[in-house]
Homo-oligomer: A and B are copies of this chain.
């Protein structure tokens, strides 16, 4: 039996054991383990990792001594052992969960404000490109990355992936024409996969990438299904899909920075019914012992985000509806796709950096969280391959992130003020009272001045924030009803706090 004697709390404790190889080890044998300490007891499913090796992974949620006992028909022997969960190192705050109804926090209570981006298949590119992506991310404001387990076939996504999730033979089916116009559906004819036989190397590599993100403090928003496929991975049977989900859950759940995104654009995957999605959700709910965040991202039509297994709304749409979605679903609103900064031919991928930055501020100032993507025509498009960022929005999003992190913790909620401004205040009423924090945003409007009136009792410090030029200007301290001059430009915000 191979395992560490000690791991940090919220890190991966892994048991690796030799086992049977006759038949199909993925399907024919199980490995499970029960982990126990003074504070928790968890039974965890393991998985076959190829080459005769079975593994069980566990993420301890408490410090102290754990014992474990391995069971299952993967071997004739029984195994048990002990390890110690040590205190988390400084960068380790645990997994992220919903906090304060509309927001997020790490397990140690540190607030997590999602500032996401999307690189759908960055992890299936070359080592060099992956390294470049990680380097770019390290210098970026992004703390959440959406990407797919399955490879992607779509406009600007013509390459074969570095590996496939199954044993078998793909057809080299690069059907993308030279103009990158995607006008055909999935065509999986000629591919030959054994959907009962995973390719462990594919998953091992993804785990390496998840860990690399973890080291950068980035949450891995793992997309389990998506429609953009030429290999037949989007049209497997429900049983094959469930088999896949159990395998993924057994492999990935112990990584603290994993989020489950059931789909990119679930409604564009015509082969899966609501009943199927609900079954898939139950597989993950029952197989992920840590209850990582779960969402399902729409193309056009929202999934029913009131479903109890959905922890937060992952939305594709412009952010005008954020406050309504908060009200309707009583969950955090993360607008993972608000159209991307870029210049490709499609409307979802060619808005300006001004517009994308505006949408980030609008999402924030309506009580939600925006998401980034970049689609400039070139060898690599960030939104698909990763690589480098060339757009002008990320530095502005970084600026916004600082403003957000400077707000009272626990997140911000919309406050109805004038019809022609957005305003957020601390989600917690007591924090609003304590701090008097108000963040106003004017978007495309260009007022030369505005009047404010928080209350008559307190003095308020006022700052004007140019969200595009990234300048915060202290204006002064005011009381009662007061007027603030503004530059008559777009993209201005005003921050007011008790003096």
Contacts and interface: CB of A to CB of B under 8 A. Distances in A.
A446 B377 contact: no
B181 A347 contact: no
A160 interface: no
Contacts of A181: 451
Interface string A398-436: 000000000000000000001111000000000000000
A178 to B, nearest CB: 9
Contacts of A167: none
A464 B181 CA distance: 20
A446 B354 CA distance: 12
A302 interface: no
A447 interface: yes
Interface stretch (A220-228, A259-267, A338-346): A338-346
A345 B444 CA distance: 13
A243 to B, nearest CB: 36
Given A350-B445, A444-B352, A490-B352, A451 B179 contact: yes
Interface string A327-366: 0000000000000001111111011100100000000000
Contacts of A345: 447-451
A446 B351 contact: yes
A352 B451 contact: no
A297 B442 CA distance: 26
Nearest to A341: B446
Interface in A169-221: 179, 181
Contacts of A446: 342-343, 350-352
Given A343-B488, A488-B343, A350 B447 contact: yes
Given A179-B483, A377-B448, A448-B377, A420 B352 contact: no
Contacts of A179: 449, 451, 483
Interface string A107-150: 00000000000000000000000000000000000000000000
Contact of A343 (B420, B448, B451): B448
A446 B343 CA distance: 5
A451 B343 CA distance: 14
Which of the four size classes fits the interface of chain A? Answer: 20 to 34
Contacts of A347: 418-421, 442, 445, 447
A444 B347 CA distance: 9
Contacts of A344: 447-448
Contacts of A447: 343-347, 350
A181 B483 CA distance: 10
A309 B351 CA distance: 43
A283 to B, nearest CB: 33
Given A343-B446, A446-B343, A350 B488 contact: yes
A249 to B, nearest CB: 36
Contact of A348 (B342, B346, B355, B420): B420
A343 B485 CA distance: 11
A352 B444 CA distance: 7
A444 B351 CA distance: 6
Nearest to A486: B345
Given A342-B446, A344-B447, A350-B448, 16 more contacts: A179-B449, A179-B483, A181-B451, A343-B446, A343-B447, A343-B488, A345-B450, A346-B420, A347-B418, A347-B442, A347-B445, A348-B420, A350-B445, A350-B488, A351-B444, A352-B444
